[in-house]
């Protein structure tokens, strides 16, 4: 999922590495989104990808998928459909792989055997639909991953999905048997919070993505058409409100852009994207007192996020500045003393400085806090290596 930041006069952007908050629950969906559109400023173009294409595959692909599944069922003992599908998607040969490129519909992703995380999620959901497997979509609240394209910084979020198993009589099995499909597993190993989202939100994400890609390429009319589609699906989708505001600014429609930033912030007063871009607009108009208030809010959001300190620590560690890394890891622990990866970071930094006792203590703490099998094995192995050193 892509979000846009303006780049001109905005170099401070590089320092904001915290995730934006999700829209709060219980807020009514906007009923008057049409008043924020500016059809008269754009040439009408058709939306090239209609919503019905976002979870569909050619009949031939569906038939071949079902035949593969039936053959597998006949050649082995019973295997849950969701498990078979997970193996099919992640197969070493013939499976699908992550590739950070343009957002595509399932048919194109299937043919390419690769796609970005949103493209692969759409494909996986389409395959699940074909086999009658239910899915749950999850937005993973990872720190942003930055890309630069022309005058824009693109902030890449992350999405994955869970395949929900069923018994033969369409009775749901226990939730613990659901399988998570993630094409960037390192994003979830850190135990980031995940937020369930519905299919409509995923569709809105798609149109915001392709709109951002069109905007970067200078295809403003196409970007506008996609953004309208995104907001028609989900009127309070803040990333699309933000992208539309940026598009308005590039068309010289600052008043319309400001109204969208205010609308987005009325839905989530701490949304980093809207705050930052609104601040850029205010600075460009020399409205410095208002800019200062926005900047203050940005700073408060940033310093409350423990992963800000963690990522600063990780950077210092990679630069071999181990004492500095210790300072940042400790600050992360002060904000969230329940995160196993923070103690793992402390352990690494202490070991690098020669403080083996504290390194072992913090590795033990990381092990005690970890709940997933992968990290438990990893920490146990490192602890044993330390003890036999």
Domains of the chain: 2-267 (no CATH), 306-387 (1.25.40.10)
* Cα–Cα nearest to 106, from 185, 49, 163: 49
Is 0.85 topped by the overall pTM? no
CA 142 to chain centre: 6
Q: What CA–CA distance (Å, rounded) separates 260 from 278? A: 9
Q: What CA–CA distance (Å, rounded) separates 208 from 245? A: 12
Residues 6+ apart with CB under 8 A from 298: 16, 272, 275, 276, 279
Instruction: Report residues of the chain scoring pLDDT below 50.
Output: 6-28, 169-176, 189
Structure confidence at residue 316 (pLDDT): 92
Q: Facing residues of 6 across strands?
A: 152
Q: What CA–CA distance (Å, rounded) separates 117 from 19? A: 18
Structure confidence at residue 330 (pLDDT): 96
Structure confidence at residue 194 (pLDDT): 81
To which H or E segment does residue 117 belong? helix 117-131
> Which runs of E-coded beta strand occur in the chain?
2-6, 97-98, 114-115, 134-149, 152-164, 179-181, 194-197
Strands 2-6 and 152-164: antiparallel
């Amino acid at each position: 999922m892509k979000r846009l930041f303006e780049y001109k006069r905005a170099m401070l952007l590089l320092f904001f590495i915290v995730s934006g908050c999700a829209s709060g629950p219980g807020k009514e969906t906007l009923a008057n989104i049409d008043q924020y559109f500016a059809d008269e400023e754009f040439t009408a173009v058709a939306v090239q990808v209609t919503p019905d294409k976002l979870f569909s595959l050619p009949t031939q692909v569906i038939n071949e998928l079902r035949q593969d599944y039936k053959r597998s069922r006949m050649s082995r003992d019973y295997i849950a459909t969701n498990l078979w599908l997970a193996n099919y998607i992640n197969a070493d040969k013939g499976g699908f792989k992550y590739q950070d490129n343009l957002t595509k519909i399932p048919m194109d992703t299937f043919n390419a055997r690769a796609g970005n995380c949103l493209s692969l999620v759409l494909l996986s959901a389409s395959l699940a639909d074909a086999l009658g497997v239910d899915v749950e979509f999850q937005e993973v609240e990872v720190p942003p991953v930055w890309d630069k394209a022309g005058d824009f910084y693109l902030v890449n979020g992350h999405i994955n999905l869970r395949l929900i198993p069923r018994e033969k009589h369409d009775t749901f099995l226990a939730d613990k048997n659901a399988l998570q499909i993630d094409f960037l597993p390192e994003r979830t190993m850190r135990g980031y919070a995940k937020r369930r989202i519905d299919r409509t939100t995923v569709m809105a994400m798609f149109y915001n993505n392709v709109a951002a890609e069109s905007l970067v390429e200078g295809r403003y009319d196409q970007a506008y058409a996609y953004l309208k589609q995104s907001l028609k699906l989900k009127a309070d989708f803040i990333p699309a409100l933000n992208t539309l505001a940026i598009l308005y600014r590039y068309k010289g429609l600052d008043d319309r852009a400001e109204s969208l930033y205010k609308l987005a912030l009325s839905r989530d007063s701490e949304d980093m994207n809207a705050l930052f871009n609104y601040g850029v607009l205010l600075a460009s108009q020399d409205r410095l007192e208002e800019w200062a208030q926005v900047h203050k809010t940005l700073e408060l959001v940033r310093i409350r996020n423990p992963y800000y300190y963690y990522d600063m620590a990780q950077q210092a560690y990679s630069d071999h500045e181990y004492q500095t890394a210790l300072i940042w890891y400790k600050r992360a622990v002060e904000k969230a003393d329940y995160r196993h990866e923070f103690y793992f970071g402390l352990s690494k930094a202490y070991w690098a400085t020669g403080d083996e006792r504290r390194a072992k203590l913090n590795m033990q703490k990381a092990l005690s806090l970890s709940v997933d099998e992968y990290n438990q094995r990893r920490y146990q192995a490192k602890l044993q290596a330390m003890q036999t050193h």
